Chain A
Amino acid sequence: MKYALVVLVVLLAPTLEAAVAPFFPLRGAQPNVALIILFGIAVAGGPRLAMGAIAPLALLVAFQTGRPPALVLAGYLPLLPLGYLIEGGRVPLNAFARAIVTVLATGGWARLMLSLGAFSAGATFSIRELGSDVLISGAILDLVLLSVVYLPLRLTGVSGRSLSPSRTGWYQ
């Protein structure tokens, strides 16, 4: 049941990324719907499930949006290791603060990767637009979307799982 649900979510997330996210832009950025869904898979189903979901999700997002598949995959890549690092870090943060830092940092990295891809394909480089219209605007959108998704779940008692990959097998 859990796996069927994850497959369904992985199939649906790229459609939301392609058909819904562009309708809610802020300056030059749009919310990173698929990344937040991937984070949701990680905290709700465990990091192993997210490790398996990341590649097909990235590929489907790339196919439906026309983005370069390798850059989309590379953009999502820091999510789990970064979440794991922050979890074990010395700075005491609650679950929501950890979620914010993890998602915003990964979202920024993902947008940076796509922007670098665009620059290498001939787009005009502009550090001001990259900073304000892509990275900061994108972070605000991700923060809003994460709050909308995450806080109601926490309030209803759903607790997030650790992002530390266990060594007890894939069936957990």
Chain B
Amino acid sequence: MLIFSRYSWWAGAMVASAILLTIASQFGLLSPFQSIVLTITRPFEDAVGAVVRPLAGVLGDAGNLRTLREENRSLRADNELLNAQVASLTADAERVGELEEALGVTRDDTAATRLAANIVSRESSPFTDTLSIDRGSGDGVKVGMVVTSSKGTLMGTVTEVFANRAFVRLVTDSRSRVAAEDIETKAIGSLRGAANRTLVFALADAAVNVGDILQTSAISGRFPAGIPIGRVIEVVNTEQGTPRSVRVEPLVRISTARTVLVLTSFLPEGIAP
């Protein structure tokens, strides 16, 4: 019987080890060891990832052929619309520049400092969505820093930092909370990850419409304002007209991203410079 076998002693020892590991993790006692392991294994992970990534890409694309076709059709339509908007905005920018020059207005240099990092691995489930990047405390990365895609769309925040590795909690992780603002209606609310890798815009204080773009709001002090996050894909209103359930699709396709940018010039409130 199991309870009389040597497994019972071993299982007891393992449960005790698990309890000790929990305590050690709470006090950060494992961090130095984890840092060493991550440093040693980084070249192996890079090598294995370089071999597997192309193969996985081909298999993934083959499995998603129908979705990719639909996405391609949608992107073509978006592209046409965006080209028209770019033309209009370029004309507006030129006009604004002329007016600023005429009025003697000078503009501050608000360019943010960003650190490029490669994605080493991704840990994804319906409830958690994290990734690790090949930059760490040695590169100036700190817990709480904001991470964007290479095009500047919000991806998440740094949650753990080691010497040359950092873990990032993505916006689609259901533990993630981001203060967000609707660009069109200026509704402010809290954006949280949902179980199926979409986002839910909660506590919105004004109307929200399908197709609206959401961006970060500086209201929480954890994100700089104006980083695009996602597009509203579904709004279910209550009888009173206030949004009851707002589903948002991230603008960035996280699964295919390979490079991210860590916003090193912005430190969230409470993080020592």
Residues of A within 8 A of B (CB): 12, 14-16, 18-20, 22-25, 27-30, 51, 54-55, 59-60, 63-71, 73-74, 77, 80-81, 84-85, 111, 114-115, 118-119, 121-124, 126, 129-130, 133-134, 164-165, 167
Instruction: Knowing A15-B48, A16-B48, A19-B49 are in contact, say whether A64-B38 is a contact too (CB < 8 A).
Output: yes
In the complex, the answer to whether B18 meets A70 with C-beta atoms within 8 Å is yes
Q: Is B257 an interface residue (CB 8 A)?
A: no
Q: Does any Cβ of A come within 8 Å of B253's Cβ? A: no
- Contact residue among A18, A51, A68, A111 (Cβ-Cβ distance under 8 Å from B25): A68
Known: A77-B15, A123-B173, A133-B195. 17 other contacts (CB 8 A): A15-B48, A20-B52, A23-B56, A24-B56, A24-B59, A63-B37, A63-B38, A67-B123, A69-B25, A73-B17, A74-B14, A81-B7, A111-B125, A124-B127, A130-B126, A133-B126, A164-B5
Choose from A30, A51, A64, A119 the contact partner of B41 (Cβ within 8 Å): A64
1/0 per residue B126-152: CB within 8 Å of A? 111010100000000000000000000
- A85 surroundings in chain B (CB, below 8 A): 2
For the complex of A and B, the 6 pairs showing the least CB-CB separation, nearest first, are A23-B56, A28-B126, A129-B126, A123-B127, A129-B195, A124-B174
B82 at the interface (CB under 8 A from A): no
Chain A residues near B247 (CB, 8 Å)?
Answer: none
Q: Interface digits, B195-234 against A, CB 8 Å rule (1 contact, 0 not)?
A: 1110000000000000000000000000000000000000
Tell whether, in the assembled complex, residue A54 and residue B167 are in contact, meaning their CB atoms are under 8 Å apart: no
Asked if A73 and B37 sit within 8 Å, CB to CB, the answer is: no
A19 touching B124 in the complex, CB below 8 Å, given contacts A70-B25, A84-B5, A124-B194 = no
Nearest-neighbour CB distance to chain B for A30, whole angstroms, equals: 7
Cβ-defined partner of A126 (8 Å) among B25, B128, B160, B195: B195
Q: A60 and B192 in contact (CB under 8 A), knowing A28-B124, A123-B175? A: no
Interface centre among A28, A29, A115 (most CB of B within 10 A): A28
Verify if B265 is at the interface (C-beta below 8 Å from A).
no
Q: In the complex, what distance in Å separates the CA atom of A60 from the CA atom of B54?
A: 26
Binding site for A on B (CB under 8 A): 2, 5-7, 10-11, 14-15, 17-19, 21-22, 25, 30, 33-34, 37-38, 41, 44-45, 48-49, 52-53, 55-56, 59-60, 120-128, 130, 132, 160, 167, 173-175, 192-197
Chain B residues whose CB sits within 8 angstroms of the CB of A25 once the complex forms: 124
Instruction: State whether A81 touches B2 (Cβ < 8 A).
Output: yes
What is the distance, in angstroms, from A12's C-beta to the closest C-beta of chain B? 8
- Nearest A-chain residue to B162, judged by Cβ: A63
Whole-angstrom distance between the alpha carbons of A129 and B193 in the complex?
14
- Report how far A54 CA is from B15 CA in the complex, Å: 12
Residues of chain B contacted by A164 (CB below 8 angstroms): 5
How far apart sit A19 and B21, CA to CA, in the bound complex (Å)? Answer: 24
Query: What is the CB-to-nearest-CB distance from B47 to chain A, in angstroms, rounded to a whole number?
Result: 9
A122-B14 contact, Cβ under 8 Å, with A23-B53, A66-B132? no
Asked whether, in the complex, the Cβ of B7 is within 8 Å of the Cβ of A122, the reply is: no
Q: Which residues of A contact B125 (CB under 8 A)?
A: 28-29, 111, 114-115, 118, 133-134
* Pairwise interchain contact A124-B52, C-beta atoms closer than 8 A: no
CA distance A77 to B167 in the complex (A): 26
Nearest A residue to B173 via CB reads A123
In the assembled complex, the CB of A115 is this many whole angstroms from the nearest CB of chain B, namely: 6
Most buried by B among A70, A74, A122: A70
Q: A70, B19: Cβ atoms under 8 Å?
A: yes
Please give, as numbers and ranges, the residues of chain B lying within 8 Å of A80 by CB-CB distance.
7, 10
Nearest CB of chain A from residue B21's CB, rounded to whole Å: 4
Contact call A30/B14, Cβ cutoff below 8 A: no
Q: Which residue of A lies closest to B159 (CB)?
A: A66
Evaluate contact between A124 and B14: CB separation under 8 angstroms. Answer: no
* Cross-interface CB contact of A167 among B6, B25, B56, B130, cutoff 8 Å: B6
- A78 smallest CB distance to B (angstroms): 9
Contact A19 B25 (CB under 8 A): no
Which chain A positions have C-beta within 8 A of B121?
Answer: 18-19, 22, 64-65
